[in-house]
Structure 1
Amino acid sequence: MKSKPMRADARRNLEQILLAARDMIAERGPDVPLDDIARRAGVGSATLYRRFPDRDALFHAVALDALTRTAAAAVAAAEEERDPFEALARYLREALELRVSAVLPALLDLVEPANDPELSPVREESARAVRQLIADCHAAGALPEDVTFMDIVMMLVRIARPLPGPLSAEADQELARRHLELFIHGLRAMRTA
């Protein structure tokens, strides 16, 4: 039986809830109250609970959305950028904005992407696409051979995670963007060294 298409307002509410949850988990951790997420999303708590009956359902959806978007970002970068290094840099910038590297580590105790039948294939697709970006860079001589998938992924996690202290979320994200550009610049310098 086919499910009927989602109404435009319901789709918008879902997207706002997922976006708010993603950002608040990145900023405040997985213990953030669901009512705060609803408030940031601009929906009532009843709307959030109607869509996601509990924290686990919401966090599963956030993880699935984040992984799906990063896989799409990696594929689009590879298809649309002629230079392999620019494709990798574009992916890194988009992944930082998607905050997947801040959100998934925060959810690891609650969501297990490697063991989840819905999340695992999307996680593998995302990893495969990023590995291909790195392989393309290696093949073009645009990235030293000793720079690995784990180096790239772990650096993105380190850059994306919010810093402790009094920084606002906006200031923290701006600092993360700056640090990512420094990392990209360092990788670019390594390829010409």
Structure 2
Amino acid sequence: MIGTQRHLRADAERNRARIVDAARTAFVEHGADVSMDEIARRAGVGNATVYRHFSDRRDLIHQVTLSSMDHIADEAETALAEEADPFDALRRFVHRAADERISSLCPLLSGGFDKTAPDVLATRDRLNSAIEHIMDAARTAGRLRADIAVGDLMVAVTQLSRPLPGTGCVDFDRYVHRHLQLFLDGLETPARSELPGKAATLEDLAPQRCEPM
């Protein structure tokens, strides 16, 4: 009986993960208004299974956003642990974050989403800390200019990974990584110019203050 219960729990966890993954992909491709039927189809489950795990669309968006932020934090931590050069770790993280299509979080965060929920704040803090660590390491190594912060980095990744209006996203990836590489070259020290304004934090980019994040 105990083995059966564990098997059922494992199945339920796999279904939940598949639904979150399918929803994230669907949101990237079609926006937050994609039908729950389509998400269920992509996940290979029935509608009843989707609603058994998520009470409504808002709940699903909440979980997709948490999952995306956690995954991006994982990428930062893994890159810093595995790369000998911290600036190489930063380069790797930026390209991986772009592959995560973090720009897809923008419409999710600007809709009916509780930005002050404890799990949202905790996940955002974890993401902020992971990115700060990788940037601090690159800065300490004398490779990263001193006048930028986490928010500056994430604005660039978000904007450079967002397709241009009217392009239909055709082959856009080849431009994303090319332009991200140009951006990263501009982050290295010595800085060639003085930046206007002040360095941006993730808190500065919170949806209630600024639309992009």
What is the TM-score with the length of structure 1 in the denominator? 0.83
| Structure 2: distance between partners of 1:9 and 1:150 | 38
Residue in structure 2 matched with residue 119 of structure 1 by the alignment = 120
Higher helix share: 1
Distance 1:91 1:126 in 2: 12
Matched residue, 2:29: 27
Matched residue, 1:104: 105
Shift of the 12–177 alpha-carbon distance from structure 1 to 2, 3 Å rule, reads: farther
- Residue 178 of structure 1 corresponds to 178
Map of 1:48 onto structure 2: 50
CA displacement at 1:13 relative to structure 2 = 2.7
Q: 2:161·2:176 contact (CA, 8 Å) conserved in 1?
A: yes
* Aligned pairs, number: 187
Q: Are the equivalent residues in 2 in contact too, given 1:92–1:156 (CA < 8 A)?
A: yes
SS at match of 1:30: coil
Change (3 A) 1:186 1:33: same
Alpha-carbon shift at residue 159 of structure 1 (Å): 1.7
Provide, for residues 135-154 of structure 1, a one-character-per-residue CA deviation record: whole Å limited to 9, x for no partner.
Answer: 11111111111232221110
Q: Is the 8 A contact 1:26 1:106 kept in 2?
A: no
**Aligned residue number for residue 132 of structure 1:** 133
Q: CA deviation at 1:160?
A: 2.4
Contact 1:27 1:162 survives alignment (8 Å): no
Q: Which residue of 2 aligns with 1:158?
A: 159
Deviation at 1:47, TM superposition (A): 2.2
What CA RMSD, in Å, does the superposition of the two structures yield over aligned residues? 2.4
Q: Would the alpha carbon gap of residues 67 and 85 (structure 1) be closer, same or farther in structure 2, given more than 3 Å must change? A: same
SS at structure 2 position matched to 1:118: helix
Contact 2:145/2:191 (CA < 8 Å) preserved in 1? no
Task: Report the secondary structure of 1:53's partner residue.
Answer: coil
| Higher radius of gyration, 1 or 2 | 2
Deviation at 1:191, TM superposition (A): 4.9
Amino acid corresponding to residue 121 of structure 1 in structure 2: A
Deviation at 1:7, TM superposition (A): 4.4
Which residue is equivalent to 1:147?
Answer: 148
